A and B are shown apart, each in its own frame.
Chain A
Amino acid sequence: MRKVSKFLSLGLIVTMAVTMAAGCGSKGSADSEDVFVIGGSGPLTGDAASYGISVKNGAQLAVDEINEAGGIDGMKFELNFLDDEAEAQPAIAAYEKLMDEGADAILGAVTSGSTIAITDLTNEDGILQITPSGSAQDCTKYDNAFRICFTDPLQGITMADYATATAGYNNIAILYNIADDYSKGMADAFMTEAEKKGGKIVAEETFTTGDVDFNTQLTNIKATDAEVLFIPAYYQDVAYILTQAKQQGLELPYLGGDGWDGVLGQLQDASVAEGAIFLSPFTANDPAENVQAFVEKYKAEFDATPDQFAADAYDGVYVIKAAIEKAGSTDSEDLIAAMTEIEVDGVTGNMTFTPEGEPNKAAKMIKILGGEYTLNK
């Protein structure tokens, strides 16, 4: 038995050593003349994996379409997408690996924290960086960085305008994640703007990442004369909140940000979200021709309905294509300069870009009706 255990143990150590030695080899660069490598990173494992997988799939679909159409003057696109676990350190490691493997532009990261972590590096390297969904203000701190989605503050301002000016609510309750930059950024902007527009924040309740019991916060909100509840959070949290609100008999209209996209998939009873309105750049039920074509292709390829993350990434690849065509070059400096001169008719809307890296496009209000996402007219 002792011998067996010794051999087994030795085998394990040899396996580990060989794996480590084999993996440390330098990979050849994919940087050939007629291939433009788009390097991407996002969470492919862990709690936020659904976002990263959607981004990877959306980007891959766009790359395949462009290549099928002959690329750009014969130059093909290639997507190299790595896992960053939605954390800063793996995001930096992924970025360095992408650069070692010859990335020509960066489509990433997916989450704000990871995006911010790599912006200093992409700026130092002078490479074009487009984040499909990094919505924190600092994601586009440098001239080389752009985004497809809306910023957290812009979402907050837009929803505050809608709540006060369009819907005419005066007394507003808010419930947000104090430990999340996305949620807090949107909440802060919303509260400032709502009060500017004459609205009154009658309840400001918070929770933290990992919380699943929201009864205390909902009880406090119920005790106020709130006319609407704004929940700038991700759909996993929103699902818990809406379910518990119904159990408590809290019957308020709900408003949210783009993190709500996917909430129906989390709910056992879709009726708890009935009538809720949230801001999103995309809905698969948008009747627009280009949107429906994208949805059909995505469903055929990945056997799933695309969400806003997939749509943002899909548009991101086409933005890179437009920048290359405008610049007439694949040089990073030229691509960055071309970004403010292009116009792309994407599935998330017709967009141009400001020198600050922000997209100019119309926000869409999505209303949940009969267990479906519909465009709020």
Chain B
Amino acid sequence: MSDKYKKILMVLIPLMIAIAMPLIVTDNYFRGIFIMTLIYIIVVLGLNFITGLTGQMNLGTAGIFAMGSYTTALLSTKLGISPWLTIIGSIIMGLIIGVGLGYPSLRVQGVYLALTTIGFGEIVRILISNFKFTNGIMGIRDIPAFTIGSFSFDDKLARYYLYLVFVVIMGVVAYRITNSKWGRLFKAIRDNYEAVQAVGVDIAKPKVLAFTLAAIYGCVAGSLYAVHMEFITPSVYTFDLSTTFIVMMMLGGIGSVPGCILGAVVCTILPELLRDFGNWYWIIFSILVLLVILFRPNGIISFLKTRKKSVKEGVK
């Protein structure tokens, strides 16, 4: 089978599974988890730009996610703006965060950048916990659903397919960027920062762009989360959530779009299925994650990647 057909199948099969899944599994409980999986896929696709491709450790993704959620929640509940339009608001918020975090990131690297992003996430959580207009720790409720005319996406099945459309669009965009000149530049910065600088490439622009893309994706996902939950509270957007996003990316395959999708799917659905083990479920899940990272450092996705023939084998 030619590589072209293989690539098409690699996209079509998961897409067919995604379309069929909520029709096979009709429980509202699992449909809710599938929706959460789609939301997390978008976040991790965004995180992949900055951490997976550019190699900048971002541990403040929960803060970005929160900003998206609260933008939608506040605009729709306080100002009565349509949830569709609040997504545009979230994209603008993502641009602001991206530039706001991106430029300071040029001055710090490694552990210092990680600490800066942790600080950002915590500042966001503390602010939304204490501001009156965000309703503080009590959170915001009665966030309206997406509607088209008289049709409302408050049914889980309809919402799932709507969110799947978002994932497909944002997944395609992420894949195209990853394989574009920008994607190659991101990877070059990750692999040899000094060499890129030495050949006279301005690394400021790609680093800020990576942060901005991550922030836009995170904010859009936050918007979708707020609409899905109908109720948001600051206690959700913790440092734990940021680390969960990192684990999703690493488990699936760092730097890989299909890997991010796979990582988000496994890390969202598997813990739910292990819940019956009570206190043991995190231990079991963590052991599985550790084993995958130990034996497959490139993530689960590395199973699906065919090993390229070496030069020696080619000559033979």
Instruction: List A residues at the B interface (Cβ < 8 Å).
Output: 5, 8-10, 12-13, 15-16, 19-20, 22-27, 44-45, 49, 82-83, 87-89, 92-93, 96-97, 99-100, 113, 116-117, 120, 136, 138, 178-181, 184, 208
With an 8 A cutoff between CB atoms, is B275 at the interface? yes
A8 interface neighbour in B32, B142, B266, B291, Cβ under 8 Å: B291
**Least CB distance, A205 to chain B, in whole angstroms:** 15
- Give the segment of B78-86, B107-115, B228-236 that binds chain A: B228-236
B288 A87 Cβ-Cβ under 8 A: no
Given A5-B295, A8-B295 in contact, is the A100-B233 Cβ separation under 8 Å? no
The docked-state distance in angstroms from the alpha carbon of A89 to that of B282 is 17
B26, B137, B141, B272: most-surrounded residue (chain A CB, <10 A): B137
Q: Does B273 contact A (CB under 8 A)?
A: yes
Residues of B close to A180: CB separation below 8 A: 137
Known: A100-B27, A180-B137. A113 touches B300 (CB 8 A): no
Residues of chain A contacted by B278 (CB below 8 angstroms)? 44-45, 83
Tell me whether A45 and B292 are in contact in the complex, defined as CB-CB below 8 angstroms, given that A10-B303, A13-B300 are known contacts: no
Q: From residue A101, how far is it (CB to closest CB) to chain B in Å?
A: 8
Q: Which among A12, A24, A83, A117 is the interface contact of B25 at CB below 8 angstroms? A: A24
6 A-B pairs with CB atoms under 8 Å apart are A12-B288, A15-B288, A16-B270, A23-B273, A44-B278, A89-B229
A88 touches B27 (CB 8 A): no
Q: Which residue of the partner chain, among B36, B138, B269, contacts A20 with CB atoms under 8 Å? A: B269
Q: Chain B residues near A49 (CB, 8 Å)?
A: 279
Size of the B side of the interface (Cβ < 8 Å), in residues, is: 45
Tell me if B206 counts as interface (CB < 8 A to partner A). no
Q: Are the C-beta atoms of A88 and B236 separated by less than 8 Å?
A: yes
The closest CB in chain A to the CB of B137 belongs to: A181
Least distance between A17 CB and chain B CB atoms (Å) = 9
Binary flags per residue of B114-141, CB closer than 8 Å to A gives 1, else 0: 0000000000001001100000111101
- Could you say which of B24, B142, B273 has the most chain A C-beta atoms within 10 Å of its C-beta? B273
- Does any Cβ of A come within 8 Å of B166's Cβ? no
Nearest residue in A to B138 (C-beta to C-beta)? A181
Q: Does B30 lie at the interface of the complex (its beta carbon under 8 Å from any beta carbon of A)? A: yes
A87 touches B236 (CB 8 A): yes
**Across-interface contacts of B291 in A (CB, < 8 A):** 8-9, 12
Please give, as numbers and ranges, the residues of chain A lying within 8 Å of B303 by CB-CB distance.
9-10, 13
The proximity string for B residues 1-36 relative to A, scoring 1 for CB distances below 8 Å and 0 otherwise, is 000000000000000000000001111111011001
The answer to whether A116 and B139 touch (CB under 8 A), given A83-B278, A88-B229, A89-B236, is yes
Residue B296, interface by CB 8 Å:
yes
CB neighbours (8 Å) of A100 from chain B are 27-29
Select from chain B the residue with minimum beta-carbon distance to A121: B230
Q: Besides A26-B26, A88-B236, A138-B141, 20 other CB < 8 A contacts?
A: A9-B296, A12-B292, A16-B266, A20-B269, A23-B273, A24-B269, A24-B273, A25-B25, A49-B279, A83-B278, A88-B232, A93-B32, A96-B28, A116-B138, A116-B231, A120-B230, A120-B231, A138-B138, A179-B130, A184-B136
State the 3 A-B residue pairs at the shortest beta-carbon distance, nearest first: A23-B273, A97-B29, A96-B29
B contact residues around A22 at 8 Å (CB): 273
Name A89's contact: one of B36, B129, B275, B281 (CB within 8 Å): B36
Q: A174 CA to B119 CA in the complex, in Å?
A: 29
B:209-245 near A, CB below 8 Å: 229-236
Contact A83 B138 (CB under 8 A): no
Is B235 in contact with A88, judged by CB distance below 8 angstroms? yes
Cβ-defined contact, B33 with A93, below 8 A: yes
What string of 1s and 0s marks CB contacts (under 8 Å) between B259-279 and chain A? Answer: 000000010011011110011
A334 to B272, CA, bound (A): 34
Q: How far is the CA of A120 from the CA of B232 in the complex (A)?
A: 13
B34: nearest residue on chain A (CB-CB)?
A24
**Chain A contacts for B300, CB-based, 8 A:** 13, 16
CA distance A26 to B139 in the complex (A): 33
CB distance from B84 to the nearest CB of A (A): 21
